[in-house]
């Protein structure tokens, strides 16, 4: 029987690369492709894939919340998170969300096949770099201490996180309501609860919170790396 894989990344070019990489393996098939987290959750419910590969920085529903929703629906889902960021906070959030694999996008061509194989064999997979970070966390502080040192953030429900992302992306309450099949009034209530829980006073504050907590990601301007011998006068 074939191993069925669902891919979720908002860039078709990345999905093409991932497909090309994974389908080289005999017995593996990409059974579906989603371009955002919401689509990924819906497709996973229908297709019941063996492994789900989720990009962290997707619009509408980010990869961490996608993973949370997937695990809430079926804790047997096996999720690999693909990320460009390997900060301690992102690693911890991915693990807390229920991801069993964590692969840096820059290393995907090298590590993704191994990650899928690991999950297929009911093991977890971290890239060597992430392994080092996790191990260093245990050795330096101990897991419990490290977790206690995490920012003491108020807990948002899955629905509230979802709405936080959509509002931070600039959608109105009405647009959010349409997207989530809720009434505008319900969204307004969630919005008030979110603002109260987080002690925020404006959408600007909400955007800053969403960026700081990896709910949305922003494009950084290109960094100028000038090698001395290549400086243009």
Partner 1 sequence: MAVRILLVDDHPIVRQGLRTLLQGRGDWEVVGEASDGVEAVEKVDSLQPDVVVLDVTMPRMNGLEACRLIQQKHKNAGPEVLFVTQHDSPQMMREALDAGARGYVVKSNAARDLLEAVESVSQHRVFTALARSPQASC
Closest to partner 1 by CB, 10 vs 29, is: 10
Q: How far apart are CA 213 and CA 199, in angstroms?
A: 15
3-state secondary structure of 8: strand
Closest to partner 1 by CB, 35 vs 173, is: 35
Closest to partner 1 by CB, 160 vs 175, is: 175
Shortest distance in whole angstroms from residue 205 CB to partner 1: 25
Q: Do residues 94 and 82 make contact, with C-beta atoms less than 8 angstroms apart?
A: no
Instruction: Name residue, tokens 């389908």.
Output: 23
Shortest distance in whole angstroms from residue 105 CB to partner 1: 6
Binding site for partner 1 (CB under 8 A): 10-21, 105-106, 108-110, 112, 219-227, 230, 232
Instruction: Name residue, tokens 């100028």.
Output: 224
C-alpha dist (Å) from residue 41 to 65, 182, 191: 10, 18, 23
Shortest distance in whole angstroms from residue 207 CB to partner 1: 18
Closest to partner 1 by CB, 144 vs 224, is: 224
Closest to partner 1 by CB, 19 vs 200, is: 19
Shortest distance in whole angstroms from residue 110 CB to partner 1: 8
Closest to partner 1 by CB, 17 vs 184, is: 17
- Which residues in the chain belong to E strands, given as ranges? 3-8, 28-34, 51-55, 79-83, 101-104, 125-126
Shortest distance in whole angstroms from residue 227 CB to partner 1: 6
Closest to 40 (Cα-Cα) out of 15, 13, 20: 15
Shortest distance in whole angstroms from residue 7 CB to partner 1: 11
Shortest distance in whole angstroms from residue 1 CB to partner 1: 26
Closest to partner 1 by CB, 48 vs 110, is: 110
| Tokens at 103, concatenated | 């692969």
Q: Do residues 60 and 38 make contact, with C-beta atoms less than 8 angstroms apart?
A: yes
| Tokens at 66, concatenated | 């996608």
Q: What is the dihedral of CA 68, 73, 78, 83, to 10 degrees?
A: -30
């Amino acid at each position: 029987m074939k191993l069925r894989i669902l891919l979720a990344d908002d860039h078709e070019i990345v999905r093409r690369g991932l497909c090309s990489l994974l389908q080289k393996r005999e017995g593996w098939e990409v059974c579906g492709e989603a371009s955002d987290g919401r689509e990924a959750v819906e497709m996973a419910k229908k297709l019941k894939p063996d492994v789900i590969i989720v990009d962290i920085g997707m619009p509408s529903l980010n990869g961490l919340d996608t993973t949370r929703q997937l695990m809430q629906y079926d804790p047997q889902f096996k999720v690999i998170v693909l990320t460009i960021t390997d900060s301690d906070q992102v690693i911890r959030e991915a693990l807390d969300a229920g991801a069993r694999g964590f692969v840096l996008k820059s290393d995907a061509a090298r590590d993704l096949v191994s990650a899928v194989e690991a999950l297929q064999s009911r093991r977890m997979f971290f890239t060597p770099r992430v392994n080092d970070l996790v191990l260093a966390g245990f050795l330096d502080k101990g897991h419990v201490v490290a977790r206690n040192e995490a920012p003491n953030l108020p807990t948002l429900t899955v629905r509230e996180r979802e709405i936080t992302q959509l509002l931070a992306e600039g959608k109105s309450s009405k647009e959010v309501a349409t997207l989530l099949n809720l009434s505008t009034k319900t969204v307004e209530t969630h919005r008030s609860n979110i603002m109260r829980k987080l002690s925020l006073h404006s959408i600007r504050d909400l955007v800053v919170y969403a960026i700081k907590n990896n709910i949305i990601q922003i494009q950084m301007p290109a960094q100028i790396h000038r090698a001395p011998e290549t400086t243009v006068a």
